[in-house]
């Protein structure tokens, strides 16, 4: 799964971060209380006295490696609060919680205690090992001990990590000999625990022994989960195995799976994907198309469609899974051996490509090592899913930049999903009018109760155009390059951002190495836009913005109508709110709380005083 030449194993979930064990483990409400400062007598009456319940709920819990006990010469590497962020990615910036444990010498170890209450029969280790000198990655093992006794050897690989970016042209390569700075250091490695489940209270040790051949191991976090047995075959379902699909990964199963789906569509029956790993490496130009059929697997740890992509990908070969009107897709993992985006010869394709005017449902699906989950259509829901180690967005709701009723982008809900280590926005709304301005506006999208952690490129959440949008009760933690949240439009061809309500989110970090960013950055159409007179209307209420690596909120060009009410901005490295030059419009900033302002910073800085009117009332910094 992590080595493009090795047979995949069954996969696993991902998590957040342990200062993180709380932030990312899908969030018990009590744990999330750690994210906000308690109310004080000086707190304005309408400012948030405690943080909202934010983030997805998952069956796994995450423990941050840096919370463990170190052995040998192991050390914690962490980004200090308020530290200056450079202009290149680092292991610290890409780690969840901006912290990791480094093992370099034989005998180095870290030990954590299973305080989750889970009898874990699976674990997911998020870690980084070095690239090969000429690229392509290495494979190395790390040993796992439970209560001090050796349990198993964990095989790790860097084949699907390590990308090199030209800081001038922004071109990317998989070849370290370019001399360009690296990024995308980590990968997630799922394992079934050998022997008895790891009981609550047991210790878990990861140790670099003599047979651990990597020069260094950088350990981010560990997910623990008690995975139930496989789900049962639904009544009257057609099994893909009966059509010749191979659950043992021996031969290509593309034709067999498609044949089962086609018959099920004709007969009005569901499709069953039994436990196993099914190889998809057909060179047919048409992808698997599940339109109009209910397709169920045995569970995301049990049934896997694995895209064994010929690298580099031929231009017309597609490995995405198409979900159309009337499709229900559940309880499955979709993985691949891709090493980067297809246009760069890395073999990735969309994990799920959803469309259809009559609605679709995707739930409990785990996608890995793909491009975005590309989500259009109408009256649709994706929920209780996981994605990790993508080369594009985690979950992108859009109009496909087409004037097509099947790709409208209307009334779509993205709920209770978990994204970690995405190679573009964790969650995105993308409404592009196209060069002719004819693609319709995306409307009625709800991004609610999701978690985005350790995004290695772009933003935790991005809103790029749209109308009647809601972004609520989400948790974003530890974005490496851009903002925890970006709100605006898509370039010069984006549809206007007519209205979005952003409320009760918890945004931790953001404002990384890729330019002057912040916790939340708000931008809008420029003079070259198809809609130069459009004004972004943004309402932000009752959010917590903690520990931004830049300003808490950045208002950038060009036109805005902005409401900030009842938010808490805690410990930003820059100003509380910065309005940059050449901004027009207005903002009403009321009943917000700002804590931990650093020396030399101000609560509100307005560098467009003649064109952008700011009204402030009843905020904590006003006495």
Question: Which CATH number belongs to the domain containing residue 461 in this structure?
Answer: 2.160.20.10
**Mean pLDDT, residues 115-130 taken together:** 98
Q: Which two tokens stand for residue 175?
A: 């070849």
The pTM for the full model equals: 0.93
Q: So what's the pLDDT on residue 267?
A: 98
User: Which residues form the domain of 456?
Assistant: 372-622
* Tokens 């459009």, residue located: 534
Confidence band of 20 (pLDDT split at 50, 70, 90): very low
Taking the mean position of all CA atoms in its chain, how far away is CA 97? 14
511: three-class secondary structure by DSSP: coil
The residues near 149 (Cβ < 8 Å, ≥ 6 apart) are none
Whether 320 is covered by a domain: the verdict is no
Inter-residue contact 594 to 619 (CB < 8 Å): yes
Q: How confident is the model at residue 52 (pLDDT cuts 50, 70, 90)?
A: confident
Query: Do 411 and 446 touch, CB atoms closer than 8 A?
Result: no
* CA–CA separation, 504 and 524 (whole Å): 23
331-430-569 Cα angle (round to 5): 90
pLDDT tens-place string over residues 226-248: 999 999 999 999 999 999 999 99
Question: How many angstroms separate the CA atoms of 58 and 227, rounded?
Answer: 12
Last residue of a domain, one of 184, 210, 225: 225
CA–CA gap between residue 185 and residue 157 (Å, rounded):
11
User: 317 is written with which tokens?
Assistant: 């070969």
Q: Determine which helix (DSSP H) or strand (DSSP E) holds 29, and give its type and residue range.
A: helix 29-32
63-78 pLDDT per residue, tens: 999 999 999 999 999 9
**Given 225, 242, 265, which residue is the final one in a domain?**
225
Residue 225 is predicted with a pLDDT of: 98
Predicted local distance difference test score (pLDDT) of residue 8: 44
Q: How confident is the model at residue 285 (pLDDT cuts 50, 70, 90)?
A: confident
Helix (H, G, I), strand (E, B) or coil at 572: coil
Q: What is the DSSP string of 582-623?
A: T-EEEEEEES-EEE-PPTT--SEEES-TTTEEEEEES-GGG-
Residue 98 confidence class, pLDDT cut points 50, 70, 90: very high
For residue 326, the model assigns a pLDDT of: 98
* Block residue for tokens 């060069």: 435
Flag whether 491 is in a domain.
yes
Structural domain total, the chain:
2
Report pLDDT for 5.
Answer: 31
Higher pLDDT residue, 17 or 509? Answer: 509
pLDDT higher than threshold 60 for residue 22: no
pLDDT digits over 489-515, tens only?
Answer: 999 999 999 999 999 999 999 999 998
Pick from 21, 4, 25: nearest CA to 13: 25
Give the count of alpha carbons within 13 A of 348, CB side only.
24
Flag whether pLDDT at 131 surpasses 50.
yes
Q: Is residue 203 part of a domain?
A: yes
User: Is the pLDDT assigned to residue 4 strictly greater than 90?
Assistant: no
Average pLDDT over residues 174-182: 97
**472 vs 36, 136, 414, 426, 485, CA distance in Å?**
17, 40, 11, 15, 12
Q: Which pLDDT tens digit goes with each residue over 293-313?
A: 999 999 999 999 999 988 887
Task: Write out the H or E segment, with its range, that includes residue 387.
Answer: strand 386-388
- 536 domain-assigned: yes
Binned at pLDDT 50, 70 and 90, residue 362 comes out as very high
Cis peptide before 60 (omega within 30 of 0): no
Q: Tell me, what's the pLDDT at 136?
A: 96
Which carries the bigger pLDDT value, residue 317 or residue 35? 317
Q: Is the pLDDT of residue 81 over 90?
A: no
Q: Would the pLDDT of 84 be above 90?
A: no
Peptide bond into 415 cis (omega under 30): no
Q: Which residues pair with 615 in a beta bridge?
A: 588
Instruction: Answer whether residue 329 is part of any domain.
Output: no
Query: What is the predicted pLDDT for the residue at 30?
Result: 25
Residue 45: pLDDT over 90: no
Report, as an integer, the average pLDDT of 29-58: 50
Percent of the chain exceeding pLDDT 90 equals: 86
Rounded CA separation 369/317 (Å):
17
**How much of the chain exceeds pLDDT 70, in percent?**
92
- Among residues 201, 225, 249, the one where a domain terminates is 225
Mean pLDDT across 561-566: 98
The overall average pLDDT reported for the chain is 91
Stated length of the chain: 623
| Distances in whole angstroms, Cα of residue 291 to Cα of each of 238, 329, 356, 361, 386 | 16, 10, 9, 11, 22
Alpha helices in 191-297 (DSSP H): 254-267
Q: Shortest CA distance to 158 belongs to which of 142, 145, 146? A: 142
Query: Per the domain annotation, does 12 fall within a domain?
Result: no
Within a domain: 566: yes
596 is a domain residue: yes
What CATH number is given to the structural domain containing 144?
Answer: 2.60.120.260
Residue 428's SS3 state is strand
Q: pLDDT (tens digit, 9 = 90+) per residue, 324-348? A: 999 999 999 999 999 999 888 899 9
- Confidence category of residue 134, pLDDT binned at 50, 70, 90: very high
């Amino acid at each position: 799964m992590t080595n493009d030449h090795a047979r995949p194993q069954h996969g696993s979930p991902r998590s957040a971060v342990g200062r993180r064990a709380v932030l990312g483990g899908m969030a018990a409400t009590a744990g999330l209380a750690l994210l906000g400062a308690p109310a004080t007598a000086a707190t304005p009456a309408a400012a948030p006295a405690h943080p909202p319940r934010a983030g997805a709920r998952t069956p796994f819990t995450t423990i941050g490696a840096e919370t463990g006990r170190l052995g040998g010469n192991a050390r914690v590497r962490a980004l200090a609060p308020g530290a200056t962020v450079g202009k290149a990615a680092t292991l610290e910036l890409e780690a969840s919680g901006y912290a990791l444990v480094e093992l370099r010498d034989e005998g180095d170890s870290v030990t954590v205690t299973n305080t989750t209450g889970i009898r874990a029969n699976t674990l997911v280790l998020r870690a980084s090992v070095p690239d090969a000198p000429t690229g392509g990655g290495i494979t190395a093992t790390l040993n796992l001990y439970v209560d001090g006794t050796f349990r198993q050897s964990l095989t790790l690989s860097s084949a699907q990590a390590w990308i090199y970016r030209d800081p001038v042209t922004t071109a990317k390569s998989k070849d370290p000999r370019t001399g360009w700075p690296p990024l995308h250091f980590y990968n997630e490695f799922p394992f079934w625990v050998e022997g008895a489940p790891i009981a609550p209270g047991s210790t878990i040790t990861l140790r670099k022994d003599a047979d651990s051949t990597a020069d260094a191991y950088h350990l981010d976090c560990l997910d623990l989960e008690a995975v139930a047995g496989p789900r049962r075959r639904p009544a009257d379902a057609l099994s893909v195995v009966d059509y010749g699909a191979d659950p043992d990964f021996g031969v290509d199963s593309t034709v067999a799976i498609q044949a089962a789906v086609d018959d099920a569509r004709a007969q009005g029956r569901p499709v069953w994907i039994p436990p196993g790993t099914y190889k998809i490496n057909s060179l047919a130009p048409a992808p698997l198309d599940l339109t109009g059929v209910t397709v169920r697997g045995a569970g995301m740890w049990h049934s896997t469609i694995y895209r064994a992509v010929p690298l580099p990908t031929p231009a017309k070969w597609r490995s995405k899974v198409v979900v159309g009107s009337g499709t229900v897709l559940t309880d499955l993992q979709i993985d691949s051996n891709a090493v980067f985006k297809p246009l760069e010869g890395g073999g990735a394709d969309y994990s799920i490509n959803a469309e259809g005017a009559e609605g679709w449902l995707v739930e409990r699906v785990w996608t890995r090592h793909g491009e975005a989950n590309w989500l259009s259509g109408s009256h649709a829901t994706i929920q209780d899913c996981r994605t990790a180690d993508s080369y594009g967005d985690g979950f992108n709701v859009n109009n496909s930049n087409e004037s097509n009723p099947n790709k409208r982008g209307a009334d779509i809900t993205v709920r209770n999903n978990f994204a970690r280590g995405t190679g573009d926005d964790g969650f995105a709304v993308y409404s592009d009018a196209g060069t002719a301005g004819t693609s319709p506006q995306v409307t009625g999208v709800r991004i609610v109760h999701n978690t985005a952690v350790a995004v290695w490129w772009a933003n935790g959440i991005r809103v790029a155009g749209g109308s009647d949008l809601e972004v609520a009760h989400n948790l974003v933690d530890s974005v490496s390059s851009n903002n925890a949240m970006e709100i605006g439009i898509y370039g010069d061809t984006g549809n206007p951002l007519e209205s979005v309500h952003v409320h009760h989110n918890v945004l931790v970090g953001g404002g990384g190495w890729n330019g002057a960013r912040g916790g939340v950055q708000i931008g809008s159409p420029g003079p070259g836009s198809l809609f130069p007179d459009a004004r972004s209307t943004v309402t932000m209420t009752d959010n917590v913005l903690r520990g931004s690596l830049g300003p808490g909120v950045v208002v950038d060009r060009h036109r805005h109508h902005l409401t900030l009410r009842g938010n808490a901005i805690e410990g930003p490295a820059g100003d509380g709110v910065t309005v940059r030059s050449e901004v027009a419009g207005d903002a009403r900033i009321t009943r917000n709380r700002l804590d931990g302002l650093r020396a030399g910073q101000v609560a509100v800085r307005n560098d467009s005083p003649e064109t952008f009117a700011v009204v402030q009332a009843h905020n904590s910094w006003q006495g």
